[in-house]
Amino acid sequence: EPEVTQTPSHQVTQMGQEVILRCVPISNHLYFYWYRQILGQKVEFLVSFYNNEISEKSEIFDDQFSVERPDGSNFTLKIRSTKLEDSAMYFCASIQARNTGELFFGEGSRLTVL
């Protein structure tokens, strides 16, 4: 069964360092998302991406964050200068079309900022 894959599964970084989290969405999907879940808290929407541009973003998604689809298969989330409060699980998700409803999530990348 096709699945969304994410790498790395866990990354530890020092505060102020740049981090890139990678995702390979399901191949025929057109809409891509990043969500994050701080330990013990809700899953929060960060950004949606369609047709090589951001379609929606939340207040969390500030100038420290960026997304890119560099090669038609990978979908990346970059955090330019990590802060302690960026420690969380980051989930990538994809959907084939707007009216299909179900999002397919990856297993997540756990980011720990020291």
Partner 1 sequence: SQQGEEDPQALSIQEGENATMNCSYKTSINNLQWYRQNSGRGLVHLILIRSNEREKHSGRLRVTLDTSKKSSSLLITASRAADTASYFCATDSGSARQLTFGSGTQLTVLP
The span of 20-28, 33-41, 64-72, 80-88 binding partner 1 (CB under 8 A) equals: 33-41
Number of residues located near partner 1, criterion CB under 8 A = 26
Binding test (CB under 8 A) with partner 1, winner from 1, 14, 28, 42: 42
Using alpha carbons, list the distances in angstroms from residue 103 to 79, 86, 114: 23, 23, 31
The span of 15-23, 50-58, 62-70, 76-84 binding partner 1 (CB under 8 A) equals: 50-58
- Does residue 48 interact with partner 1 by CB under 8 A? yes
Strand partners for 30: none
- Does residue 44 interact with partner 1 by CB under 8 A? yes
- Does residue 101 interact with partner 1 by CB under 8 A? yes
d(CA 103, CA 66): 21
Residue type present at position 40: G
Asked, as a colleague might, if the bond just before 8 is cis with ω within 30 of 0, I would say yes
CB of 41 to partner 1, least distance (A): 8
Binding test (CB under 8 A) with partner 1, winner from 75, 108, 111, 113: 108
Residue with tokens 């790395």: 8
CB-based contacts of 97: which residues, under 8 Å, 6+ apart?
30, 31
d(CA 104, CA 95): 6
Of 81 and 98, CB closest to partner 1: 98
